[in-house]
């Protein structure tokens, strides 16, 4: 056992975020922590890492336990280069591995100073630093934020093969499904444990809630019966009567609160006319670099488009051009008279930390007409899980996810008929995401979204725009349906997307045989690397140490090539299976 947590409690102001929480973390556990934004997930992670203190309870850690933690907003040494910052927590023998991981995470110029990095780049550098830190327990707070889909796939495989225990907060449902063997849910201060991956957790949670509702209905029936007896005027003279009164008081003292995680996303949208948005041969450059060029597209009235590509390729720039925040360098964009655009930016807009929650919404609109009724700002906030007790508190007391949800409410109150969403899943909890996806299903307008969330792309999008070296092309379907196409097709300029007619691909018998033996091959290489590491630790002669280092580097090269091939074949098999299911 790495860590035992017993009767842990923590309160902020008058809000209990942890109430008598107990659990344990074992070696090789892969745990996901989920819950509505603001329930205390990050607080629990910080308590485990000894960055905060609890009000009561104990945390017993294994002797010499090594913990490496990735925070939501990591702090780096601004004066250090990227490589220096990462190597600060790793041994010098890990230089090759550091360069490999940083390259995988899209960091090319390793001599760049940390002070010049964007927020997303800092998160990726911090992730590399944590992965290289010797640890028994890895704690990750939203590790997939600011990663593109290829980086997420690589990280997924890395964490699956990692021997350390893992505890993470993430909204990426495919990520949890494929990595985790345990789920922990925080709800109203209580912690619920599930020996399950994500999909099984969803089933078990519904069973738990159904059982709680049934128990409460039984309690209410019994309470009603006992209340009739009390009102009959029975005196507590006998031992039997006193005992029954005590049972009644105990029943009446039970505090049952229905878990309300249902955000009401009932919003109107402006009427969308026949003429929508027409892009004609538009282009945008950044210095001498062309982000995209010669791009033409006529939007359909119910388009659901996902945009994917490497970080920095121009996805957000394209959204900003469509939102009229930037002008194209070439070409024209024509908008229909009825077009009303709402742009949900990455992160959340700049908020005044001293401003009250309700004032932030009232700046947008003080009242909202919905389904024949007029709702004020306070009512709209309640529908978004901001109770009256929270509405008059300053924004600085909200969690990052709660700020994101507040910003989403403000955007949707604009009643748009064109939604431009830039990484909408970042920092939103899974419950909010599921409700948002249901809302987008019924949205009577155009949706264009930049997202790295593979589940979200599969759930929402009916076509993809893929950025590749300054060229944008389209594919029909979501992410899973296009994994194979993304790897095999040559990029070509897009106009209106057309359905491709093609036979389903198959894996050859040679590829199947190669894939079946790869895990054993990887284990053998890992064992050899561990053996060389042990010998290097014992070696005292420089020549012997140099020879061992060269052997290790050669095996690491084999390991990387084998891992890449394994990932390629695994993804190919998954894509083919998905295409067969969709056929």
Distances (CA, A) of 519 to 234, 556, 565: 74, 15, 11
Assess contact for 174 and 157: CB atoms under 8 A.
Answer: no
Assess contact for 412 and 267: CB atoms under 8 A.
Answer: yes
The Cα–Cα gap between 240 and 225 comes to: 17
The pLDDT of residue 168: 95
Domain end marker among 180, 201, 222 = 201
- Calculate mean pLDDT across residues 209-235: 72
The Cα–Cα gap between 263 and 456 comes to: 18
Domain holding 461: CATH number?
3.40.50.300
Please state which of the ranges 178-182, 200-204, 266-270 shows the lowest mean pLDDT.
266-270
Q: 320 vs 487, which has greater pLDDT? A: 320
Same domain, 108 and 182: yes
Q: Alpha helix (H) ranges present in 167-304? A: 173-179, 198-231, 239-253
- Calculate mean pLDDT across residues 119-145: 92
Domain holding 519: CATH number?
1.20.58
DSSP state, 117?
-
The residue segments making up the domain with residue 523 are: 509-582
Helix (H) or strand (E) holding 132: helix 119-132
Same domain, 402 and 367: yes
Q: Residue 501 — very low, low, confident or very high, per pLDDT cuts 50/70/90?
A: very low
> Which backbone phi and psi does 378 adopt, to 5 degrees?
-60, -40
Same domain, 364 and 484: yes
b/e per residue 400-438 (b: at least 16 CB within 10 A): bbbbbbbbbbbbbbbbbbbbbbbbbbbbbbbbbbbbbbe
Instruction: Indicate if the pLDDT at residue 582 is higher than 60.
Output: no
Going edge to edge, which strands form the sheet with 471-476? 341-344, 418-422, 446-450, 304-308, 463-468, 471-476
Average pLDDT, the chain: 82
Domain end marker among 162, 181, 201 = 201
Q: Model-level pTM?
A: 0.66
Instruction: Indicate if the pLDDT at residue 237 is higher than 60.
Output: no
Same domain, 517 and 483: no
- Numbers of helices and strands, H then E, in the chain: 19, 20
The tokens for 493 are 């300029």
- Calculate mean pLDDT across residues 237-261: 59
Same domain, 479 and 531: no
Q: Is residue 241 part of a domain?
A: no
If you search the block for the tokens 């957000």, which residue do you land on?
Answer: 316
Share of the chain above pLDDT 70, in %: 83
Kindly give, in sequence order, each residue whose CB lies less than 8 Å from that of residue 36, ignoring residues fewer than 6 positions away: 187, 261, 385, 429, 431, 432
The Cα–Cα gap between 579 and 482 comes to: 8
Domain end marker among 426, 458, 488 = 488
Condensed to tens digits (0 to 9), the pLDDT of residues 297-330 reads: 999 988 999 999 888 888 999 999 999 999 999 9
The Cα–Cα gap between 183 and 34 comes to: 8
| Number of domains the chain contains | 3
149-161 and 542-582 helices cross at what angle (nearest 10)? 120
SS3 label, residue 295: strand
Reference 268, options 409, 371, 342; nearest CA is 371
Q: Residue 233 — very low, low, confident or very high, per pLDDT cuts 50/70/90?
A: low
Same domain, 350 and 483: yes
Same domain, 304 and 180: no
The pLDDT of residue 184: 95
- Calculate mean pLDDT across residues 475-488: 69
Instruction: Indicate if the pLDDT at residue 576 is higher than 80.
Output: no
The pLDDT of residue 229: 64
The Cα–Cα gap between 137 and 133 comes to: 10
Same domain, 419 and 522: no
Handedness of CA 507, 513, 514, 518 (dihedral sign): positive
- Calculate mean pLDDT across residues 147-175: 90
Q: Is residue 315 part of a domain?
A: yes
Q: ∠298-303-308 over CA atoms, to 5°?
A: 90
The Cα–Cα gap between 89 and 362 comes to: 47
The pLDDT of residue 264: 55
The pLDDT of residue 245: 64
Same domain, 541 and 482: no
Please state which of the ranges 43-47, 145-149, 336-340, 461-465 shows the lowest mean pLDDT.
145-149
The pLDDT of residue 267: 58
Same domain, 451 and 516: no
The pLDDT of residue 39: 84
The Cα–Cα gap between 141 and 232 comes to: 57
DSSP state, 427?
T
Q: Is residue 422 part of a domain?
A: yes
400-412 and 430-442 helices cross at what angle (nearest 10)? 10
């Amino acid at each position: 056992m790495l860590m035992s947590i017993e009767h842990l409690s923590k309160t902020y102001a008058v809000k209990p975020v942890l109430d008598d929480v107990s659990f344990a973390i074992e070696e090789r556990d892969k745990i996901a922590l989920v819950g509505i934004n603001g329930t205390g997930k990050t607080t629990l992670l910080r308590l485990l890492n000894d960055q905060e203190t609890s009000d009561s309870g104990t945390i017993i850690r294994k002797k010499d336990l090594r913990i490496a933690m990735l925070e939501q907003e990591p702090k780096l040494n601004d004066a250090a280069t990227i490589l220096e910052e990462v190597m600060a927590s790793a041994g010098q023998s890990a230089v090759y591995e550091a360069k490999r991981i940083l390259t995988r995470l899209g960091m090319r110029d390793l001599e760049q100073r940390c002070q010049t990095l964007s927020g997303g780049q800092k998160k990726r550098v911090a992730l590399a630093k944590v992965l290289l830190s010797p640890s028994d327990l890895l704690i990750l707070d939203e590790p997939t934020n600011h990663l593109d889909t290829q980086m997420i796939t690589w990280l997924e495989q890395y964490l699956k093969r990692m021997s350390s225990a893992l505890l993470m907060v993430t909204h990426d449902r495919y990520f949890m499904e494929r990595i985790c063997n345990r789920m922990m849910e925080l709800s109203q201060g209580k912690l619920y444990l599930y020996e399950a991956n994500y999909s099984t957790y969803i089933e078990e949670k519904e069973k738990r809630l159904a059982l709680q509702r049934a128990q409460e209905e039984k309690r209410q029936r019994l309470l009603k019966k006992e209340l009739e007896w009390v009102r009959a005027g029975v005196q507590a003279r006998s031992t039997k009567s006193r005992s029954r009164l005590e049972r009644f008081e105990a029943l009446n003292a039970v505090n049952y609160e229905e878990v309300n995680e249902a955000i009401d996303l009932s919003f109107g949208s402006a009427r969308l006319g026949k003429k929508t948005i027409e892009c004609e041969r538009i282009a945008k450059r950044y210095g001498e670099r062309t982000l995209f060029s010669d791009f033409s597209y006529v939007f359909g009235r119910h388009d659901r488009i996902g945009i994917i590509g490497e970080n920095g390729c121009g996805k957000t720039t394209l959204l900003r051009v469509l939102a009229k925040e930037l002008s194209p360098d070439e070409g024209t964009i024509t908008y229909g008279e009825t077009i009303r655009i709402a742009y949900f930016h990455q992160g959340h807009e700049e908020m005044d930390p001293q401003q009250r929650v309700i004032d932030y919404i009232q700046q947008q609109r003080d009242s909202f007409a919905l389904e024949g009724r007029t709702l004020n700002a306070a009512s709209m906030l309640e529908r978004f899980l901001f109770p009256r007790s929270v509405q008059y508190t300053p924004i600085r007391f909200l969690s990052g996810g709660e700020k994101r949800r507040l910003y989403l409410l403000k955007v949707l109150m604009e009643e748009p008929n064109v939604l431009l969403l830039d990484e909408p899943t970042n920092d939103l909890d899974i419950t909010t995401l599921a409700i948002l996806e249901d809302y987008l299903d019924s949205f009577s307008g155009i949706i264009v979204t930049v997202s790295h969330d593979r589940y979200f792309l599969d759930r929402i999008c009916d076509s993809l725009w893929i950025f590749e070296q300054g060229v944008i092309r389209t594919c029909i379907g979501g992410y899973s349906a296009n994994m194979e196409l993304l790897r095999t097709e040559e990029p070509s300029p897009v106009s209106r997307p057309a359905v491709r007619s093609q036979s389903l691909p198959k894996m050859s018998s040679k590829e199947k045989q190669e894939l079946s033996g790869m895990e054993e091959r990887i284990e053998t290489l890992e064992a050899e690397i561990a053996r060389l590491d042990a010998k290097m630790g014992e070696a005292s002669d420089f020549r012997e140490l140099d020879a061992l280092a060269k052997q290790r580097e050669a095996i690491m090269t084999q390991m990387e090539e084998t891992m890449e091939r394994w990932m390629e074949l695994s993804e190919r098999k998954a894509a083919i299976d998905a295409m067969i299911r969709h056929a």
